[in-house]
Amino acid sequence: MTRPTIHDVARVAGVSLSTVDRVLNDREGVREKTRSRVMSAINSLGFERNIAAANLSRKRRYRLCFILPDGQNSFMRVLEEDVAEEAAAALRDFTVIETRKVPAFDAGALAELLRSLDPESVDGVAMVATDATIVRIAVRELRARGVAVVTLVSDLPGSEKQGFVGIDNVQAGRTAGSLLGRFCRGRTGRIAMVSGSMLLRDHAERRLGFEQVLRSEFPDQTIIAPLEGLDDKDRVRDQLAERLAQDPDIVGVYSLGAGNRGVAEALSGLPAGRDVSVVVHELTRFSREALLDGSFDAVLHQNSRREVQGAIELLRRLLDGEPQPALSEPIRVEIYMRDNLP
């Protein structure tokens, strides 16, 4: 009933504790014969090392740096809070987390920050990436200096990052299409899309998925060219309100970036009889209220808390030397409606 320890392994193999330790940690200087003796002792006893004891002994500390975009985007501010809370919790696991902010969508600033990172004080980095070559280069240099790097929420394909923690945005767009298509069934007309900017990778991917599904599954609906609201509430409101007024056949709206307030305001100006189904992204205080009062029909969400936890987990496992760590469970595209709000 009591688990075997390295003492047991050492006894059975007829060697000392240090030799067992060497074998366990793949250290140099063990004869092949000895190693196999130890290995068979391990197997026959079913030994599994006690990680807590190992960490206690080794006084391992993980120093992580989270890099987030600055600015008003409320999803990012929630993410920042999540990082702060998880940082407090992570302290108990000997993990120290520092948060740095860079101007949003400023690849130069991000690259510069990455370049300034000192491996003497940082073991691993989790970053919300801005998609640019200069950032890829900075990532490569950082890796060369021995720092682990993963991307968070927004990926950097083609870089030397060792992992990505976030949702599949094409899938998110497809899900939005699937929902909105069904919601608008029986009311053939036009569907409006509101994006931040098609220059953003995430937004482009969501649009792609959305159009795929709508075209193939709900061909009766017409998609109109996306409005680019630059994630700015007022711009989104003005553009969408104008479009809704011009085009009485719009029966559905998919907002795939920030600017939910603008969407809600534009809709609130509609005449009483007009019925428009709405799907947006990110569950916040605001979108939650909008679900409850019926302004929005569904909200697609990514669990930013779990994303932060995932990034921490991934970095720790990279630093522990695991070659290709993967998240135990992927981050999912969650669907919220008024009635399954958490």
Chain residues that interact with a second copy, rule: CB under 8 A: 1, 3, 48, 50-53, 55-56, 91-92, 96, 171-172, 174-175, 177-179, 182-183, 185-187, 209, 213, 277, 297, 305, 329-330, 332-340, 342
How far apart CA 316 and CA 165 sit, in angstroms, is 14
The per-type count for the chain, helices as H runs and strands as E runs, is: 13, 12
Look at residue 7 and give the partner it binds from a second copy, DNA, none, a contact being a CB closer than 5 to 8 Å depending on partner kind.
DNA
User: Both tokens of residue 78?
Assistant: 């929630």
User: Which one among 40, 43, 44, 50 touches DNA, defined by CB under 7 A?
Assistant: 50
Size of interface with DNA, in residues (CB under 7 A): 30
**In 90-177, beta strands by DSSP E:** 95-102, 124-127, 148-152, 164-165
Look at residue 259 and give the partner it binds from a second copy, DNA, none, a contact being a CB closer than 5 to 8 Å depending on partner kind.
none
Instruction: State which of positions 158-177 bind DNA (CB under 7 A).
Output: none
Look at residue 285 and give the partner it binds from DNA, a second copy, none, a contact being a CB closer than 5 to 8 Å depending on partner kind.
none
For residue 24, give every residue at least 6 positions away whose Cβ sits within 8 Å of its Cβ, in sequence order, or none: 6, 42, 49
The answer to whether 43 contacts DNA (rule: CB under 7 A) is no
**In the chain, beta strands by DSSP E:** 62-69, 95-102, 124-127, 148-152, 164-165, 190-195, 222-223, 227-228, 250-255, 277-281, 298-301, 334-336
Q: Nearer to DNA by C-beta: 40 or 50?
A: 50
Q: Nearer to a second copy by C-beta: 32 or 329?
A: 329
Stretch that binds DNA, among 22-30, 84-92, 216-224, 313-321 (CB under 7 A): 22-30
Q: Closest distance between DNA and the C-beta of residue 41, in Å?
A: 12
User: Which one among 11, 39, 45, 49 touches DNA, defined by CB under 7 A?
Assistant: 49
Look at residue 330 and give the partner it binds from DNA, a second copy, none, a contact being a CB closer than 5 to 8 Å depending on partner kind.
a second copy
Stretch that binds DNA, among 14-22, 98-106, 160-168, 304-312 (CB under 7 A): 14-22
User: Which one among 11, 39, 45, 54 touches DNA, defined by CB under 7 A?
Assistant: 54
The answer to whether 29 contacts DNA (rule: CB under 7 A) is yes
Neighbours of 9 (CB within 10 A): 25
User: Which one among 1, 26, 44, 58 touches DNA, defined by CB under 7 A?
Assistant: 58
User: Both tokens of residue 216?
Assistant: 């193939």
Q: Which of 338, 279, 327 is nearest to 303 (CA)?
A: 327
Phi, psi of 40 (to 5 degrees): -70, -30
Query: Which residues does residue 253 pair with via DSSP β-bridges, in sequence order?
Result: 192, 278
User: Which one among 59, 273, 285, 342 touches DNA, defined by CB under 7 A?
Assistant: 59
Q: Closest distance between DNA and the C-beta of residue 12, in Å?
A: 12
User: Both tokens of residue 331?
Assistant: 């981050």
Per DSSP, the three-state class of 190 is strand
Question: Virtual CA dihedral for 101, 335, 287, 188, nearest 10 degrees?
Answer: 120
Q: Nearer to a second copy by C-beta: 15 or 191?
A: 191
Q: Closest distance between DNA and the C-beta of residue 47, in Å?
A: 7
How far apart CA 31 and CA 48 sit, in angstroms, is 22
User: Both tokens of residue 109?
Assistant: 């600033």
User: Which residue type occupies 248?
Assistant: P
Look at residue 225 and give the partner it binds from a second copy, DNA, none, a contact being a CB closer than 5 to 8 Å depending on partner kind.
none
The answer to whether 99 contacts DNA (rule: CB under 7 A) is no
Residues that bind DNA (CB under 7 A): 2-3, 5-7, 14-19, 21-22, 24-25, 28-31, 33-34, 47, 49-50, 53-54, 56-59
